Amino acid sequence: MVSDASKKKALQKKAAAAAKRGGKAAAAAASKSAATSSNGVDTLSSGVDAIQISDRTCTGILCSHPQSRDIRIESLSVTFHGYDLIVDSMLELNYGRRYGLLGLNGCGKSTLLTSIGLRELPIPDHMDIYHLSHEIEATDMTSLEAVMSCDEERLKLEKEIETLVEQVL
């Protein structure tokens, strides 16, 4: 992988070459180098993160009944940064079934799940979807124990709220 320092050097070389030629490229390179702060952090990247520009483009047609528990999406296409991950495919998920996604790194498994979780695909509103965007830290607990511990923590917080309300009143 190319380091940030070498990218910065290459960008400066391009800016210098464009400045010699003059024109629009020089102005664009100058504005890009001006947007970089003194410690090398690109301030434009933080602005783009704040805007949350969508990197994904998802299209598809919901072919199942809108009140059905099953999902059938035809003509499904997912593009990520201009790269076609899924093109003109069909996605069918039936109620009560479990599914797994297999594929090489970078083939679009997480992108597809994120698109479904953010409802960028035509999913009926009556379906509840939660996409876990980060992993839980590794423990020896089972998934059921992890869920139950959250419930115990919720009860503990509710009791703490009640005691604080009593103190205020």
Among left, alpha and beta (phi > 0; psi -120 to 50; other), residue 23 is: left
**What average pLDDT does the structure give for the chain?**
79
Q: Which residues pair with 84 in a beta bridge?
A: 79
The predicted-structure confidence for 70-119, as pLDDT tens digits, reads as follows: 999 999 999 888 888 889 999 999 999 999 999 998 888 888 998 898 89
Structure tokens at 110: 């997480």
Task: Please identify which residue in the block is written with the tokens 């876990």.
Answer: 132
Instruction: Write out the chain's pLDDT in tens, 169 residues.
Output: 455 666 777 777 777 777 777 655 444 544 555 445 444 555 666 665 555 546 778 889 999 998 999 999 999 999 888 888 889 999 999 999 999 999 998 888 888 998 898 899 899 889 888 888 777 678 888 878 877 777 788 888 999 999 999 998 8
Report the predicted TM-score, pTM, of the whole model to 2 decimal places: 0.51
Written as one string, the DSSP assignment of 51-82 is HT---EEEEEEE-S-TT-SSEEEEEEEEEETT
Helix (H, G, I), strand (E, B) or coil at 36: strand
Neighbours of 36 (CB within 10 A): 15
